[in-house]
Amino acid sequence: MSLVSRPPDAPSAARLLAPALVLVALLGVGCGRVAPSYEPATLTVRSTPAGAVILIDGQQTGQVTPFTFTGVSAEAHQVSVTLAEWHADPEVIPVDLRPLDDVAVDFALFQTGVQVTSEPAGARILVDGTDSGKVTPATVAGLQSGTVHISLELDTWLCVPASVAVDVVDGSVAEVTPQQLQLRSRRTVMLESFGNVNCGTCAQAAGNLLSLCARDGYGPGRALFVEYSVSWPNPTDPMYLANPTENAERYTFYWVMATPLLLIDGVAQPDALDPVGPVAAVAGRWDVDPGFLVDVDASPAGGAAVPVTVSLTPLRNVDLTGCSLYVALYEDLVTYATPPGTNGQSEFHHVFRDRVDAPPALGALVAGTPATFDVTLNRGAADPANVTVIAFVQRTADKTVLQAGSTAATVKFHRP
């Protein structure tokens, strides 16, 4: 709403002066007629939001709201404001200033457009497939009323769904929330570490790994990690003994000769104790588009046997011949009242518990046609609220992990 306001009426110098002028005229004091005197007025112009350019009688004043003009001629004026991508209704407010008036004019500004937010922020906003020049969070204003399709673009991320239809109403701003348009990582990087409770530096390596995945932007949709245990130097490592066969299969697969060892997408890192190098290595893997997504659904609360469904969704034709689908379960947090080994570590994260016995062999995937796999894992006595199921596609020849996913990821592929 746009308003014109002035203080309550009070005796002004102009009103007190008027009778005196009449008296002078009647008494004929002075020579000839005396021209009436009109004192200037004061005009304050405000707007919500502020910062609008002020025009009086169609001329720019060089000032922006809020601003108070003094010495304004006591007569009728047309006041308007302008602010990029905003408009006022009404566009012009007439004011009829009297001598010594003190009047305030308030403009309520409106937009016609769409406000878009995203998680993470910084995504380019597209309207009907065209870059708006704005990045989230932002309002794309100046749109015509009607239906538009909003989508997002962010390097190494995918927009899920690809777009949403939004009804734009004249004079109002529609809203697109992170729940309507979600961003998911184009690639989820797989980190695997190997240690033992008697490995003196393994606790430090585990802490570095936990810190890496806790970094902003490195959550479970971007980077997964699982910790395996080897049988040396302590063959009674309780994490190893919980599943010695599959722990051994994994460290034999990589020919692990010393611990701690960290692999990123199947590639051994030069220094498992380096807190910086792996951060950059993970980010570098996001730049490589695997061309397909991995989604994992599981029901650990139903019993020790956990049914799992893994979906591979190809975004383009992808040949996965020579690759296998590994599906595993880890316990999020395992704690001991006293350290079970000599390295002082009593808290362990993402501890490997079970893996599908025969990883399915993969082949060619056709764009837009998901491949689904149903398997069963064993969580044993682990709290169902304390387990995560992961899946990753690994090429046997060079041990490269191409893509991964887990039940911890919050954004799933959108199926219309």
* Top CATH class, 186-406: mainly beta
Label residues 234-266 b or e (16+ Cβ within 10 Å = b).
beebebbebbeebbbebbeeeebeebbbbbbbb
What is the rounded average pLDDT of the residues 84-90?
84
Q: CATH 2.60.40.10 in the chain, residues? A: 186-406
Residue 7 confidence (pLDDT) above 80 = no
- The values of phi and psi at residue 293, to 5°, are -115, 155
Phi, psi of 52 (to 5 degrees): -85, 140
What is the average per-residue pLDDT within 124-143?
95
pLDDT (tens digit per residue) in 347-397: 999 999 999 999 999 999 999 999 999 999 999 999 999 999 999 999 999
- Name which CATH class applies to 113-184: mainly beta
CATH 2.60.120 fits 3-109, yes or no: no
Lowest mean pLDDT among 23-37, 231-245, 290-304, 378-392: 23-37
pLDDT at 160 over 70: yes
Whether the per-residue pLDDT at 64 is higher than 90: the answer is yes
CA distance 60 to 81: 9
pTM score: 0.80
Q: State the average pLDDT for the chain.
A: 91
Lowest mean pLDDT among 5-14, 149-158, 189-198, 377-386: 5-14
Segments of the chain assigned to CATH 2.60.40.1120? 113-184
Distance CA 158, CA 182 (A): 8
pLDDT of residue 22: 39
Q: What confidence tens digit (pLDDT) does each residue in 287-319 have?
A: 999 999 999 999 999 899 999 999 999 999 999
Identity (one letter) of the amino acid at 86? W
- Give strand pairing partners of 347: 335
Q: Tell me the average pLDDT across 172-185.
A: 95
Residues written for the chain: 416
